[in-house]
Amino acid sequence: MKEKAPIVTQLYRLNVEPKVIDQLSKIAARTGEPKTRLARRLFTEAVMSFKPTKAAKNGAKA
């Protein structure tokens, strides 16, 4: 039987604009998904889909 890879949880404390929190609350209320789970899912999707530019790879500022 194949074992599942462990899930590592890293908590981040982010400063988020109030309008982002309002939108998150609206989506959470509409979908029934808890805000925390929704925020974690959206953040993970954004990070995993990020493709750095060449300038960012070299440490240069864009």
pLDDT digits 0-9 by tens, 9-62: 777 777 889 999 999 999 999 999 999 899 889 988 999 999 888 765 555 565
Q: Say yes or no to pLDDT of 6 above 60.
A: yes
In a domain, 61, yes or no: no
Parent domain of 35: 18-50
In a domain, 13, yes or no: no
- Residue 2 has a pLDDT of 74
Q: Domain count of the chain?
A: 1
56 to 5, 42, 45, 49, 52: CA distances (angstroms): 30, 23, 20, 15, 6
In a domain, 2, yes or no: no
- Residue 58 has a pLDDT of 56
